[in-house]
Amino acid sequence: MTLDVAWAIDWVRRSAATVKEHREELIELDRQIGDGDHGENLNRGFTAVVGKLDALESPPGDVGEVLKLVATTLMSTVGGAAGPLYGTAYLRAAKAAAVPELDANGVVAMLEAALEGIVARGKATTGEKTMVDAWTPATEAAVAAADEGAAPAAVLAAAADAATRGAESTIPLVATKGRASYLGERSAGHLDPGARSTELILHAAAEAAQ
Ligand X SMILES: Nc1ncnc2c1ncn2[C@@H]1O[C@H](COP(=O)(O)OP(=O)(O)O)[C@@H](O)[C@H]1O
Q: Residues in the site for Mg ion, rule: CB under 5 A?
A: 30, 34-35, 37-38, 80
Residues 1-60 that bind ligand X (CB under 6 A): 30, 34-35, 37-38, 41
> Taken in order 137, 41, 73, 210, is the CA torsion positive or negative?
positive
For residue 124, state whether it binds ligand X (rule: CB under 6 A).
yes
Using CB distances below 5 to 8 A depending on partner kind, what does residue 195 bind out of ligand X, another protein, Mg ion, none? ligand X
Using CB distances below 5 to 8 A depending on partner kind, what does residue 186 bind out of another protein, ligand X, Mg ion, none? another protein
Amino acid sitting at position 63: V
Number of residues in contact with ligand X under rule CB under 6 A: 24
Using CB distances below 5 to 8 A depending on partner kind, what does residue 131 bind out of Mg ion, ligand X, another protein, none? ligand X
Contact map string, positions 133 to 172, toward ligand X, x by CB under 6 A: ----------------------------------------
SS3 label, residue 56: coil
Q: What's the helix, strand, coil split of the chain in %, to 5?
A: 75, 0, 25
- Rounded to a whole number of angstroms, the minimum distance from the CB of residue 210 to another protein is 33
Using CB distances below 5 to 8 A depending on partner kind, what does residue 134 bind out of ligand X, Mg ion, another protein, none? none
Q: Which residues bind another protein (CB under 8 A)?
A: 27, 31-37, 40-41, 44, 75-85, 87, 121-122, 176-179, 181-184, 186
How far apart, in Å, are the Cα atoms of 23 and each of 20, 29, 66, 106?
Answer: 5, 10, 23, 30
Kindly tell me which of 2 and 181 has the beta carbon lying closer to ligand X: 181
SS3 label, residue 125: coil
CB 101 within 8 A of CB 2: yes
Kindly tell me which of 68 and 177 has the beta carbon lying closer to ligand X: 177
Query: Distance between CA atoms of 101 and 43, rounded to whole angstroms?
Result: 28
- Rounded to a whole number of angstroms, the minimum distance from the CB of residue 56 to another protein is 19
How far apart, in Å, are the Cα atoms of 209 and each of 11, 14, 18, 140, 157?
Answer: 8, 11, 15, 19, 9
- Which among 71, 61, 66, 70 has a CA at the least distance from the CA of 100? 61
In the complex, which residues of this chain contact ligand X (CB under 6 A)?
30, 34-35, 37-38, 41, 80-82, 85, 118, 122-124, 130-132, 177-179, 192-195
